[in-house]
Amino acid sequence: MTHHIQDPKRRLQELSVLHQELSTVKKTARVYKQQPNSQIFIKEDRARVMHEAKKEMDQLIAEYGSLDTNTSPTTTKANDLER
C-alpha cells in the first residue's frame, strides 16, 4: 500500500480516520479497496485493511516524525469541553 505522498500530514490524517472507521464496523462487514489508478474495487478482509493502514501510519510517523494529527472525535470533544 504505497502511495506518492505529497502531503504526509494529510495522508496520516486520512489513515487515522480510516483506521478509526474500520475499528467501528462489524467484523463481518464487507470492505472494498479501490485499486490504484482505476475505478475497480476489490473485496478485502477488514482486518487486513486495518493492518495495512496501521503499518503505513507507522511508516509515516517513523519517516516524518509526529505530525500532530488530532483527528480523533474523542480528542476534539474533550478539547471543546475544556473551553
**Could you say which of 1.10.287.70, 1.10.760.10, 3.30.70.260, 1.10.287.370 is the CATH number of the domain covering 10-69?**
1.10.287.370
| Whole-number pLDDT of residue 58 | 93
| Whole-number pLDDT of residue 8 | 87
Write the burial class of residue 24 (CB in 10 Å: 0-12 exposed, 13-18 middle, 19+ buried). Answer: exposed
Q: What nine digits make up the cell of 12?
A: 496520516
| Whole-number pLDDT of residue 72 | 46
pLDDT in single tens digits along all 83 residues of the chain: 455 557 888 999 999 999 999 999 999 999 999 999 999 999 999 999 999 999 999 999 998 876 554 544 444 444 444 44
Domain map (residue ranges) of the chain: 10-69
| Whole-number pLDDT of residue 68 | 53
**What are the phi and psi torsion angles at 43 (to 5°)?**
-65, 130
| Whole-number pLDDT of residue 59 | 92
Closest by CA position to 71, among listed 1, 36, 37, 20: 20
CA atoms within a 13 Å half-sphere pointing along the CA-CB vector of 80: 7
Cβ contacts of 35 within 8 Å, gap of 6 or more: 41, 42
| Whole-number pLDDT of residue 38 | 94
